[in-house]
Chain A
Amino acid sequence: MAKLNAETVKALALELFDYEFSDEAAGSVAHIVGAMANYSRRLHGIGLAGVQPPFGYPTLCAEAARLRRIV
């Protein structure tokens, strides 16, 4: 289990986003993100070696072309 606690969440949110968590929210989010860390590590088990993320270059080019039309 990731060792993320409410105080760490509050400090990070303030530093990164200038956002103030309540004590209760920070505790709950620490729990959620901790659980997510565990699940995320388990995804290695489905065989991700060499798998590319689905952010293709054609999409990048198409989006740039769209922006050029409207900018």
Chain B
Amino acid sequence: MSNHAEILNFDVAALAEKIRAKDLSPVEITEAYLERIDAHQGRLLAYITVTADDARDAARKAEAEIMAGNWRGPFHGIPIALKDLCNTRGVLTTGGSKILGDFVPNFDCTVWARLREAGAILLGKLNLHEFASGATNTNPHWGTCRNPHDLERIPGGSSGGSAAAIVAKMAAATIGTDTGGSIRIPAAFCGCVGMKQTWGRVSRFGVMPLADSLDHAGPITRTVRDAALMLEVIAGHDPHDSTSSNDPVPDYAQALTGDMKGVRVGFIKELITGLSDEVAHSFNGALRQMRILGADVDEVAVPHIETASIIATSIMLAEAAEYHEQWMRTRAHDYGADVRRMLEAGMMTPAIYYVRAQRSRAAILAETLKALDHFTVLAAPTAAIPAPRIDVGGRALSDNGHQIDMVASVLRFTAPFNVTGQPALAIPTGLAPNGLPLSMQIIGKPFDEATVFRVADAYERARGPLAEPKL
């Protein structure tokens, strides 16, 4: 028996070892997390729904199975939570909206079905920007999720609850979704790991779409190892999603050698301008660290990568407007002002712009693949700034009170890899002098998540642990 604080300090990999060895029970782990949620949910609003009773039932069942010698794998008995965009049978699934404010699905999304089958325990459903349609997680219907490092700052979005819950130790691992950066942006602003794997690597069945051709559902975790373990559970072909890949899923954990020798890291020249001083300093420090670890680090050009934001925006507006058209005709007043405006712009997006944006994707991917001819992985900051402030109007503000340009500050760095569909992992590179997390992305070749994990894990080991938020 351990005390709750000690339990909460373990990542998934460590918990799994202790559960397997029967040193810790899923029941006491789940109780530790539910107690933590009780303590901090009121201030952080990381959750929309907490499924405490169901979690306790599932924990008792997992404990019985494990005690009988039927350990299923690393997620057996691990308490996790899902972005409330993921449909879950019998559990309120709102999409962070008023429109679906009382929607209880009768089916599970594949991501949850696979985690449940692996023995994971659902703690609840996590806050998000309404319908995943923004990067602040300022939600007019379910409350504004807060950054655990500074409650006056945004956690980032749209998967803000997923990242806030990880950093505040209100879940052992979570699922987010990413259309223009919605896994990586909150991971960067809150200080945890966010993995957007290759498009098609993970089924999107049962996850509400923002823009199908850019959407991904993936892990947000404390460590790279946990992200690797989680991706291994949720990845692979799904007959319910015809766009899911048939490529075999490797043993990602086996790639985590801690070794960066022979690795060539290309930092993207076009994405190291316009950075705040603290981001530039921290990113350069991370590159230095990788050199010390034996990597060969050099600059690489991806000449048209800056066009990716407009490509992603054109596609997202059109695809989102198509999905929401019926509700926009009948319930437009039930959307938050920013999401309604986005959908209105989508309704007026000509098909010509949409098709041209889709055709442009191959040109950008050709450029990143050319860069990867000479490098093992690419690197770039995840955002130009640390987490901005929330103001009363729900916008994100810089420290001098100006409204943040989210395209210039964030989407410019993350959206290119939704456009190309490549794997991109956000990993903290340290803390700014004011204690806010900073982050970089490691980007790989399509379907080569294993190499991304290898590089990120080796860096993470050398970087060491980050200071935790004072809650």
Restricting to B237-279, which residues have a CB under 8 Å from any CB of A? Answer: 239-243
Given contacts A39-B310, A46-B304, A54-B358, contact A62 B347 (CB under 8 A): no
Q: Does B431 contact A (CB under 8 A)?
A: no
Given contacts A19-B329, A37-B353, A48-B363, contact A43 B358 (CB under 8 A): no
CA distance A46 to B310 in the complex (A): 13
Contact indicator B357/A55 (Cβ below 8 Å): no
Closest Cβ of chain B: how far from A31's Cβ, in Å? 9
Closest Cβ of chain A: how far from B447's Cβ, in Å? 16
Interface secondary structure of A, over-half rule: helix
Nearest opposing residue in chain A for B345, CB measure: A32
Closest Cβ of chain B: how far from A69's Cβ, in Å? 7
Contact indicator A36/B344 (Cβ below 8 Å): no
How many B residues touch the partner, as a band? 35 or more
Contact indicator A9/B348 (Cβ below 8 Å): yes
Given contacts A18-B329, A19-B332, A69-B239, contact A43 B360 (CB under 8 A): yes
Contacts of B359 in A (CB 8 A): 48, 51-53
Closest Cβ of chain B: how far from A10's Cβ, in Å? 10
Contact indicator A36/B347 (Cβ below 8 Å): no
Contact indicator B213/A54 (Cβ below 8 Å): yes
Nearest opposing residue in chain B for A70, CB measure: B240
Contacts of B311 in A (CB 8 A): 43
Contacts of A62 in B (CB 8 A): 242-243
How many A residues touch the partner, as a band? 35 or more
Contact indicator A46/B348 (Cβ below 8 Å): no
Given contacts A25-B341, A48-B359, contact A59 B349 (CB under 8 A): no
Contact indicator B353/A17 (Cβ below 8 Å): no
Q: Does B374 contact A (CB under 8 A)?
A: no
Contacts of B429 in A (CB 8 A): none
Contacts of A37 in B (CB 8 A): 350, 353
Contacts of B341 in A (CB 8 A): 25, 28-29
Q: Does B355 contact A (CB under 8 A)?
A: yes
Restricting to B281-316, which residues have a CB under 8 Å from any CB of A? Answer: 304, 307, 310-311, 313-314
Contact with A along B14-48 (1 / 0, CB 8 A): 00000000000000000000000000000000000
Contact indicator A48/B356 (Cβ below 8 Å): yes
CA distance A52 to B348 in the complex (A): 24
Q: Does B229 contact A (CB under 8 A)?
A: no
Q: Does B352 contact A (CB under 8 A)?
A: yes
Nearest opposing residue in chain B for A39, CB measure: B310
Contacts of B340 in A (CB 8 A): 25
Contact indicator B329/A36 (Cβ below 8 Å): no
Q: Does B445 contact A (CB under 8 A)?
A: no
Query: Considering residues A13, A40, A62, which has the most beta carbons from chain B within 10 angstroms of its beta carbon?
Result: A40
CA distance A14 to B332 in the complex (A): 14
Contact indicator B344/A25 (Cβ below 8 Å): yes
Contact indicator A40/B344 (Cβ below 8 Å): no
Contact indicator B332/A40 (Cβ below 8 Å): no
Identify A59's interface contact among B242, B307, B332, CB under 8 A. B242
Point out residues on A near B: beta carbons under 8 Å. 4, 9, 12-13, 16-19, 21, 25, 28-29, 32-33, 36-37, 39-40, 42-44, 46-48, 51-55, 59, 62-63, 65-66, 69
14 intermolecular pairs with C-beta atoms under 8 Å apart: A29-B348, A33-B349, A40-B314, A40-B353, A42-B310, A43-B360, A46-B304, A47-B363, A51-B360, A52-B362, A54-B213, A54-B358, A54-B362, A69-B239
Point out residues on B near A: beta carbons under 8 Å. 213, 239-243, 304, 307, 310-311, 313-314, 317, 325, 328-329, 332, 340-341, 344-345, 347-350, 352-353, 355-364
